[in-house]
Chain A
Amino acid sequence: MRTVVRATVVMAAAVLAAAGCAGGGGETGGGDAAEPLSVWQFYGDESMPTGKPLYDLVARYEQQSGTDVDIRFIPYDDFNRTLTQAAAAGDGPDIALISAFDTAAMADAGVIQDLSPQVQAWGQQGEYFPTSWESTQADGKTYGVPHLADAYAVYYNTAMVQQAPTTWAEMEATAASLSGQGRAGLAVSGIEGAEGATGLAIRMLAAGAQPTEIDSPGGHAALESFQRMVQSGALSEGFLTWNEEDAKNQFATGQAAMMINSATYVNILREENPDLQWSVAVLPSETTGQTMLSAENLTIGATSDDVDRAWDLISFMQRPDELQVYLPERNKLPARDDVPGTAEDPVRAVFAQQLQQAWAPDAALAPHTTEVLTALQAALQQAISGTPVPDAARSAQATIDEALGTS
């Protein structure tokens, strides 16, 4: 019996050791030239309207270069986890499309490669909007190239709203006057987590407060503004359970006269609600009228051993003539200012104009953005539930300070 037990233990140890080795340093990133390049992304698969344009773009590259590319779609919620697990196992992709805010953390962890030499030789970094380009930087090095950009602006129903509000005081008054009979003046996502903090962060920026400064006059003003809008019926209390898709549905069905949302929904509204009369305006301002940047960067995995071909694909994907075709299909904006045709569509032109005033976290904040935005949403939820604004702000500020190590 003892022999059997010993044999079992030895075999189990061998299997575990093998598993450990696999987790230590296998190398399957790119392989030799005959192997296809691997691209991981979270937009969607080939059958989805959010995924198909990327597959088409890459197919054009395959046709032109003769290189095979293997695209893998991983849903957003699983993406970072899968990428880091693969990187830990030495099995990451050649190219990974990652959130702009995650780039610095991924660089620090060693998930992606330093692309400074390639970028220097390429010499097109000056074409990009500074905020977008800044998101690719860590420790003075370049770890990616901005793929595209997105911004938040105000969609308004032209049958209900003659002229979009230009200040937040006007926004509150207009939204209140348009509410009633089961309709709200404004829709915005306020759901638990980072997604639901976008509206508050935009309002804070307008009031002159950074999103890390909720316990400040600007932060208090932003929370009070949302409180007033809920109390007046300008904003349905249900916004605390809405994600951005839900806010779009409220607007599309006429249950909201205006919404704050990203350019993602331009084509969706056009296709799904052709009879809806709507337009877009830049965000109302107070001290400023900044929008949140929403963007992704193209990066090369640390385990890729085919960096040259990976870089070739990235530089193809950033050619202005390719972006001119690709971006309108994706409902997104260029991260560089030399893409022709952006100003021709008046709606996209508004988003492009809004993008000029984009806010993105700096290098110190970027790795903690989710935590900070989650704390902001918690303050918003508390304020709407009746917690006094100073208390809600103080509690959220303590969480933010702890996350940033500034407490």
Chain B
Amino acid sequence: MTAVLERTRTPAPAHRPRRRAGNRADQLFLLPAVLFVAVTVVYPLVYSVLQAFQDVGLREVIRGGAEWVGFANFANQFGRAEFWQALWLSLVYTVGTVVLTYVGGLALALLFVHRFAGRNVMRALLMLAWILPTVVGANVWRWLLDGSYGLLNAVLRGLGLIEGDVFWLGQPGPALVSVIAATAWSFAPFAMILLVAGLQGVPTMLYEAARIDGASAWQQFRHVTLPALRPVSVTVMLLIFIFAFKTFDTIYLMTRGGPGGATLTLPLYAFQEAFEFRRYDTAAVATTVMLLVPLVLSIFYFRSLRREETA
């Protein structure tokens, strides 16, 4: 491969310097975008990571003079049960959301890939969950799950499944499941759109061949649809993982991280440390970990993608 590249590089064509000049001019057009990203993304990111290595409280934020403490903040956080609890809850919440969103999105995609009366209207209605501002969606869920006048309790009482009031957001386990369900509810239409596109790309002749071989609907789904959807599925799962891992608003609005810290995921933990307890350094450790987890996952994803492309 290297030899091929060497051959194509030499000898240099006569007009090469002019092409270079053209490239330079093209690249100058990128300058505003590069500067924008540098100022709005790279600088805050680097600043935040650097804070994780400094002793930063409110005083240092205002007056400066933060001391470098190396990995002391990391050691401090890694020694705190609350930090590991937040990381664990983040992973449970994220994986739960990914699974529920994917299953829900796939079910919707399988429904909406077929033509039927009212399909477009129903699809548009479903998209509302994705479009709705988070504050509206989260408050709808708070109302649905309210112990005294919530719709869920009314239905369950009507069916004779519960008696009295059940406070779903006041108990640790149900509260965690509730915020997962609310997040999956809002993400599922987005997953559906990508998966519908994936389904439409599966060649119909594969299904025809499977039918000729006598495959049942389930076997067609398992041996044709799922393998053909694999690249889209991985992309959907990775995107939902990243969205969910950094989700703050839905959880904060529904439970504020409670009850008793049962939904205090890493983003809420970082918020609490920084803006309620004013420990900016330990909050920076949490946000740095929040940065690393999806980054590592993305690297694995792109590597596997490249392997598939070269295979």
Contacts and interface: CB of A to CB of B under 8 A. Distances in A.
Contact of A370 (B24, B38, B43, B277): B277
B221 interface: no
A185 to B, nearest CB: 15
A385 B171 contact: yes
B156 interface: no
B170 A241 contact: yes
B62 A4 contact: no
Given A3-B24, A84-B62, A88-B61, A192 B165 contact: no
Nearest to B25: A4
Chain B contact surface mostly: helix
Nearest to A24: B64
A367 B31 CA distance: 45
A320 B165 CA distance: 49
Q: Chain A CB within 10 Å — which of B43, B58, B167, B257 has the most?
A: B58
A15 B259 contact: no
A111 B62 contact: yes
Nearest to B28: A4
B294 interface: no
Interface residues of B, number: 38
B169 interface: yes
Contacts of B246: none
B2 interface: no
Contact of A19 (B24, B34, B43): B43
A401 B34 CA distance: 48
B73 to A, nearest CB: 15
A385 B258 contact: no
B147 A236 contact: yes
Contacts of A377: 258
Contacts of B257: 192-193
B20 interface: yes
B147 A105 contact: no
A329 interface: no
Contacts of B146: 238, 241
A16 interface: yes
Interface in B103-162: 146-148
B276 A192 contact: no
Nearest to B263: A192
Nearest to B27: A4
B178 to A, nearest CB: 11
A108 interface: yes
A212 interface: no
A12 interface: yes
Interface string A231-251: 000001110110000000000
B63 A16 contact: no
B172 interface: yes
A241 B259 CA distance: 8
B78 interface: no
A193 B43 CA distance: 32
B269 to A, nearest CB: 12
Nearest to B264: A192
Contacts of A255: 148
Interface in A1-60: 1, 3-4, 8, 11-12, 15-16, 19
A87 B63 CA distance: 9
A236 B63 CA distance: 47
24 contacts: A8-B31, A8-B34, A8-B35, A11-B31, A12-B34, A12-B38, A87-B62, A105-B278, A109-B63, A110-B59, A193-B257, A193-B258, A236-B147, A237-B165, A237-B170, A238-B146, A238-B167, A238-B170, A241-B146, A367-B278, A370-B277, A374-B276, A378-B261, A381-B260
Interface of B: 20, 23-24, 27-28, 31, 34-35, 38-39, 43, 57-59, 61-63, 146-148, 165, 167, 169-172, 255-261, 272, 275-278
Interface of A: 1, 3-4, 8, 11-12, 15-16, 19, 80-81, 84, 87-88, 105-106, 108-111, 182, 191-194, 236-238, 240-241, 255, 302, 367-368, 370-371, 374, 377-378, 381-382, 385, 403
The 3 closest A-B pairs by CB, nearest first: A192-B258, A381-B260, A192-B256
Given A1-B23, A238-B170, 16 more contacts: A1-B27, A11-B31, A11-B35, A16-B38, A84-B61, A87-B62, A109-B62, A192-B259, A237-B147, A238-B148, A238-B167, A241-B167, A255-B148, A377-B258, A381-B260, A385-B259
